[in-house]
Amino acid sequence: MQDQLNKIESKVDKVVDSINEINITLAKQHVTLQEHMKRSEANEKAVEILATELKEIKNEDIAPIAGHVIKVELITKIVVWLIGLAATAALGHHYFIR
């Protein structure tokens, strides 16, 4: 009978050790969770600030940039067209001279 009690006591000790390890892990995870929550709150505040700043930008502030983009696109199209024209002329000249 004493032998069985010793086995039970040994198993209970193992269970208690396991519970203690679980408690340690839980405490570590709780600290990690608190740090994560602080970072998440800071990120949410930063996003709110950026959203507010973007709303404050007026179309008038963006208009000069939009005009510049249109001009660059037009110049790019003209340059590509001229390169295509020059290439066509060079190829045509090459075939007609033979």
The rounded distance, in Å, linking the Cα atoms of 3 and 8 is: 9
Give the separation between CA 1 and CA 63, rounded to whole angstroms: 92
Q: Domain coordinates of the chain in residue numbers?
A: 1-56, 59-98
What sign does the CA torsion over 4, 10, 13, 15 have? negative
pLDDT tens-digit map of 53-62: 877 777 667 7
Distance CA 74, CA 81 (A): 11
Tens-place pLDDT, residues 70-91: 999 999 999 999 999 988 887 7
- pTM of the predicted protein model: 0.46
Name the 3-class secondary structure at 12.
helix
> In this predicted model, what pLDDT tens digit does every residue of 5-54 receive, in sequence order?
999 999 999 999 999 999 999 999 999 999 999 999 999 999 999 888 87
The string of DSSP codes covering 27-44 is HHHHHHHHHHHHHHHHHH
